[in-house]
Amino acid sequence: KPDLPPGVLYRVKATYGYVKEDVDELSFEIGDTIRVIEYDDPEDQEEGWLMGQKEGTTEKGLFPANFTRPI
């Protein structure tokens, strides 16, 4: 298992593309790697959604967990 940067819980690979529907969401394409990070406020957490940062970018936001799989 690769060393993860501080604050990164685990990484996922996008199995589907997702286009954000809100400013706090994250868009990605099939095959993108996303670092799953903790919510700034755990109370914001929604069932089935993760907070992540697209690897190689500074883009971060919410995304549906079922569009990705852990790697």
Q: Which domains can be identified in the chain, with CATH numbers?
A: 8-70 (2.30.30.40)
Average pLDDT value over all residues in the chain: 94
pLDDT, mean of residues 52-62: 95
- Name the region of 40 (left: φ>0; alpha: ψ -120 to 50; beta: rest): alpha
Does position 71 have pLDDT exceeding 80, yes or no?
A: yes
The partner residues of 11 in beta bridges, in order of sequence, read 35
Residue type, 4: L
Exposure string (b/e) for 10-47, b if CB count within 10 Å is 16 or more?
Answer: ebbebeeebeeeeeeebebeeebbbbbbeeeeeeeeee
Does position 2 have pLDDT exceeding 80, yes or no?
A: no
- Whole-model pTM: value is 0.90
Q: How far is it, in rounded angstroms, from Cα 28 to Cα 41?
A: 23
